[in-house]
Structure 1
Amino acid sequence: MRLIVNGSALEVEAETLGHALDALDYGDAKVATAVNGAFVPAAARATKRLEDGDRIEIVAPRQGG
C-alpha cells in the first residue's frame, strides 16, 4: 500500500503500524509514532490498522542540549 512516511511517499506491505515499522527496519527502535496527525502509543501499534494514503510520522529521540 502507498503510505506517506515522514513526508515521503513509499510502497509498504503492511496492514498495521507495527508491521509497517518492521518493514521500514525500525524493529524494536525507541520511536514515537503518529498516523494522520494522531499519536499512536507503542502498545497500540500492533492493532492500529493502516489505509492506503495514510500519513505516518516516526520520530526518534535525540540526545543533547
Structure 2
Amino acid sequence: MEIKVNNQIEKFPENCSIQLLVDEIINEKQKGIAIAVNNQVIKKEYWQEYFLKQNDEVLIIKATQGG
C-alpha cells in the first residue's frame, strides 16, 4: 500500500503498524521522535497497535539539540 511519509510516497505491506514503518525508515535509536498520522499525534505507546491505511499521511518529527 502507498503511504505518504514526510511528503514522499512510500510503499509498505498491508497491516503495517507505525512501529514497523519507523523501524524500516529510521535506522537509529528512536528517542526524540514524534509521529503524526493525518495530522493527529500518536503516542509512542500505541505505535505497535496502530495500523496504517492506504493513503495515510505520516509526519515524522525528530528532535534536535541546539540553540
The two structures have a TM-score, normalised by structure 1, of 0.87
1:53 aligns with 2:38: no
Tell me how many residue pairs correspond in the alignment: 65
Report deviation, 1:25.
3.1
The separation in 1 between residues aligned to 2:50 and 2:29, in whole angstroms, is 17
Any gaps of 5 or more consecutive residues in structure 2? none
Cα distance change on mapping 1:38 and 1:12 into 2, 3 Å = same
The separation in 2 between residues aligned to 1:28 and 1:49, in whole angstroms, is 21
The separation in 2 between residues aligned to 1:26 and 1:41, in whole angstroms, is 20
- What root-mean-square deviation, in Å, do the aligned CA atoms of Structure 1 and Structure 2 show? 1.5
The two structures have a TM-score, normalised by structure 2, of 0.85
Any gaps of 5 or more consecutive residues in structure 1? none
Cα distance change on mapping 1:19 and 1:27 into 2, 3 Å = farther
